[in-house]
Structure 1
């Protein structure tokens, strides 16, 4: 039997996050401003013709689970593989980041800048509206670390946007923020999961040590609409 995690992009876009998405029963995407992610009922046979009316020339989208040549009018900008990991550990005994600041809309610009600098994955100015986000600020009021929630499906919640400014790395900020989110999700009866690029050995190793386990390794691509109808 298929598991929700097997096609989590579609499960989120057609389920709990349908209110943040646009598209049809054959293809959906997060609306402009949110994370540029697309999903299909069968990711191995994506219907890009159905997606096309909801995309603009030059937009870049992340999709997973399919290989082969780009469909007509689209161009593959990048491709790799990533691990989808699911929580397999126990519950943290306490909030590891009680002093973390909840991120609101007024923090969106700083969150985008930190994401541009550290490249945690697809991130947009409205991504922090998809779930709980927490961060740390330096003495000058600049955001230097954050982590939050992105995709959701019944009983599942993704940890995403984990990043730390290079000047503040090595202090355990990312782990503390993640443990805070893990505790909150488990208390809500949700199982945490996340994504990490297969080539990122350091992050993958950290997540394994924290208590995450590999669910599967899946192809991931960045694709752009290169030709209008």
Structure 2
């Protein structure tokens, strides 16, 4: 297996490599500590139903990346989100018109407040500890963020591309995605991201920045 093939199962290989200390292992299924993110994946088909039951005791709703999981009747397969996995292979050259700040612990309350408005289902109390996060402030208000989530030895995911609803259309997402991707290149890693296939506007933005679609991947929402 070459390194890029690991992107076919990004949760599994993140938990086997850079985020190994955050892994909860249930037979064939590996999960993140739910304080960081409620993601899981399996490396063999089929997974065991008892694996997801065990994890469901820790968190009421979670997500499996990749192939459709087997689940027992005690749980519900709530939704399938079809995503594009996109990758960029060289630095992004753009002009930054706004100041971009690396977010620290002192910014955590503002970060979580913005996430709660826009993007609450995937973000947990310690998600921002998975990597570096960057933001744009206007009048002392955090109005846009982007950061790093899943990480492997050779790849880091760009994630949490969030802009406050009252500040959309100012080019903040474009700047933050480019800045975050370039920061990943500076770590000698390659940036990738996941975006809902139906989110045409975001897909077009990423394509303009140089991202190309590598594959489609499903995210399965499981709940009690």
After TM superposition, is the score higher than 0.5? Answer: yes
Tell me how far apart the structure 2 counterparts of residues 85 and 94 of structure 1 sit (CA, whole Å): 19
Tell me how far apart the structure 2 counterparts of residues 196 and 62 of structure 1 sit (CA, whole Å): 15
The Cα of 1:98 is off from its aligned counterpart by: 7.6
Tell me how far apart the structure 1 counterparts of residues 154 and 120 of structure 2 sit (CA, whole Å): 24
Tell me how far apart the structure 2 counterparts of residues 155 and 27 of structure 1 sit (CA, whole Å): 22
**Partner in structure 2 of residue 215 of structure 1:** 214
**Partner in structure 1 of residue 56 of structure 2:** 55
**Partner in structure 2 of residue 131 of structure 1:** 131
**Partner in structure 2 of residue 29 of structure 1:** 31
Most deviating of 22-31 and 159-168: 22-31
The Cα of 1:107 is off from its aligned counterpart by: 2.6
**Partner in structure 1 of residue 155 of structure 2:** 156
Matched, 1:99 2:99: yes
The Cα of 1:175 is off from its aligned counterpart by: 1.1
Q: TM-score, length-normalised on structure 1? A: 0.87
Tell me how far apart the structure 2 counterparts of residues 36 and 96 of structure 1 sit (CA, whole Å): 33
Cα deviation digits, residues 145-185 of structure 1 (max 9, x gap)? 00000001111010001110011111111111111111111
Query: Do the aligned partners of 2:46 and 2:70 also contact (CA within 8 Å) in 1?
Result: no
Structure 1's consecutive aligned runs of 4 or more residues displaced over 4 angstroms after TM superposition are none
Residue correspondences, number:
222
SS of match in other structure, 1:183: helix
The Cα of 1:25 is off from its aligned counterpart by: 5.1
Measured on the aligned residues, the alpha-carbon RMSD in Å equals 2.3
Q: 1:121 to 1:158 in 2, by over 3 A?
A: farther
SS of match in other structure, 1:124: coil
Gaps of 5+ in 1: none
SS of match in other structure, 2:9: helix
Most deviating of 200-209 and 62-71: 62-71
Q: 1:23 to 1:99 in 2, by over 3 A?
A: same
Tell me how far apart the structure 2 counterparts of residues 8 and 176 of structure 1 sit (CA, whole Å): 25
Tell me how far apart the structure 2 counterparts of residues 97 and 27 of structure 1 sit (CA, whole Å): 44
Tell me how far apart the structure 2 counterparts of residues 94 and 209 of structure 1 sit (CA, whole Å): 11
Q: TM-score, length-normalised on structure 2? A: 0.88
Tell me how far apart the structure 2 counterparts of residues 97 and 182 of structure 1 sit (CA, whole Å): 17
Query: Do the aligned partners of 2:38 and 2:59 also contact (CA within 8 Å) in 1?
Result: no
The Cα of 1:101 is off from its aligned counterpart by: 1.8
The Cα of 1:6 is off from its aligned counterpart by: 0.6
Tell me how far apart the structure 2 counterparts of residues 121 and 193 of structure 1 sit (CA, whole Å): 21
**Partner in structure 2 of residue 82 of structure 1:** 83
Tell me how far apart the structure 1 counterparts of residues 58 and 27 of structure 2 sit (CA, whole Å): 22
